[in-house]
């Protein structure tokens, strides 16, 4: 079974803090993704990566950056957290680009 | 512009009856379609998929129908069970060369 692990289930941070969300997958998948989920807005793609050190902007990259130094790990960075970044963050991985994505359990981030 | 649309934000069905969740798409290049199920505070889990060369795919109580000419797909759940209560996301990709594009989701409530 594919396992995608997000380091934290719940996080509370203060406005202006730098926040790191970590994601690890154990299936040697090439592609990894970060989404946020908000009520009524569905899943919105923030960034994705198709290879180590490669990254592509998704639909809502502003205020975020990512890092992929190893194939199995994809980090989402909030450079200076703001209250409008309070959300559920979901990491996913897939073998091929348009293939089934496997999701982690999510990180519920609250920025106060 | 939304390429994948789930026009019903919510649906309520009696236990034992059929649940029909609908999804429309605008991009004629989409050739692979998926349904995901999401419980609160968990990541989405893959449910069922269909390739554009088929018009139906069945897996137990779940059946996905694809109508390419109408650019429409639907997920049928028969019989519906209370444990099916969740948010269902429709997703699509084009020739495996693009990340999945998700709809905004439909919340299904199955009432005992």
d(CA B83, nearest CA chain A) in Å: 18
Dist CA A87 CA A37 (whole Å): 6
Contact flag A42-B46 (C-beta cutoff 8 Å) = no
Structural contact between residues B78 and B84, judged by C-beta atoms closer than 8 angstroms: no
Q: Would you state the pLDDT for residue B1?
A: 73
Contacts of B9 in chain A (CB under 8 A): 40
Q: Would you state the pLDDT for residue B30?
A: 94
Percentage of the residues of chain B whose pLDDT score is greater than 90: 91
Contacts of B34 in chain A (CB under 8 A): 100
- Model pLDDT for residues B36-74, shown as the tens digit of each residue: 999 998 999 999 999 999 999 999 999 999 999 999 999
Query: Which among A33, A40, A106 is the nearest to B99, CB-wise?
Result: A33
Residue A38 near chain B (CB below 8 Å): no
Considering chain B, what is the average pLDDT of its residues?
Answer: 95
Q: Would you state the pLDDT for residue A40?
A: 86
Six-digit token string for B1: 């512009």
Contacts of B49 in chain A (CB under 8 A): 100
Contact flag B49-A40 (C-beta cutoff 8 Å) = no
Dist CA B37 CA B53 (whole Å): 24
Structural contact between residues B104 and B50, judged by C-beta atoms closer than 8 angstroms: no
**Radius of gyration of chain A measured on its C-alpha atoms:** 13
Provide the edge-to-edge strand list for the sheet that holds B19-25. B4-5, B19-25, B72-77, B62-67, B56-59
Residue B18 pLDDT greater than 80, yes or no: yes
User: Could you report the average pLDDT of every consecutive run of 10 residues in chain A (112 residues)?
Assistant: 89 97 95 94 94 92 96 97 97 90 96 97
Residue A50 near chain B (CB below 8 Å): no
Residue B60 near chain A (CB below 8 Å): no
Q: Whose CA is closest to B46, among B33, B62, B34, B58?
A: B34
Residue B96 pLDDT greater than 70, yes or no: no
**Radius of gyration of chain B measured on its C-alpha atoms:** 13
Q: Hey, of A98, A99, A105, which one would you mutate to test binding to chain B, going by the most B CBs within 10 A of its CB?
A: A98
Q: Would you state the pLDDT for residue B105?
A: 96
Contacts of A106 in chain B (CB under 8 A): 41-43
Contact flag A105-B42 (C-beta cutoff 8 Å) = yes
Residue B75 pLDDT greater than 80, yes or no: yes
Structural contact between residues A81 and A64, judged by C-beta atoms closer than 8 angstroms: no
Span B78-92, average pLDDT = 97
Q: Would you state the pLDDT for residue A96?
A: 86
Percentage of the residues of chain B whose pLDDT score is greater than 70: 98
């Amino acid at each position: 079974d594919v396992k995608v692990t997000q380091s934290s289930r719940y996080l509370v941070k203060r406005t202006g803090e730098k926040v790191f969300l970590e994601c690890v997958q154990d299936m040697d998948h090439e592609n990894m993704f970060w989404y946020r989920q908000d009520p009524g807005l569905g899943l919105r793609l923030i960034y994705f990566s198709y290879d180590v050190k490669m990254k592509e902007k998704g639909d809502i990259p502003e205020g975020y950056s990512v890092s992929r130094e190893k194939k199995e790990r994809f980090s989402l960075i909030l450079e200076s957290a703001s209250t409008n970044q309070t959300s559920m963050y979901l990491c996913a991985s897939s073998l091929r680009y348009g293939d089934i994505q496997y999701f982690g359990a999510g990180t519920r981030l609250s920025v106060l | 512009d939304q390429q994948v649309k789930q026009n019903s934000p919510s649906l309520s069905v009696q236990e034992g009856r059929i649940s029909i969740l609908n999804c429309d798409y605008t991009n004629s290049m989409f050739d692979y379609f998926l349904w995901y199920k999401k419980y609160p505070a968990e990541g989405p889990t893959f449910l069922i998929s269909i390739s554009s060369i088929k018009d139906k795919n069945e897996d137990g109580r779940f059946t996905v129908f694809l109508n390419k000419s109408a650019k429409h797909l639907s997920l049928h759940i028969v019989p519906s069970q209370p444990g099916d209560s969740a948010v269902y996301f429709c997703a699509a990709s084009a020739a495996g060369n693009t990340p999945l594009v998700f709809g905004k989701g439909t919340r299904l409530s199955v009432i005992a």
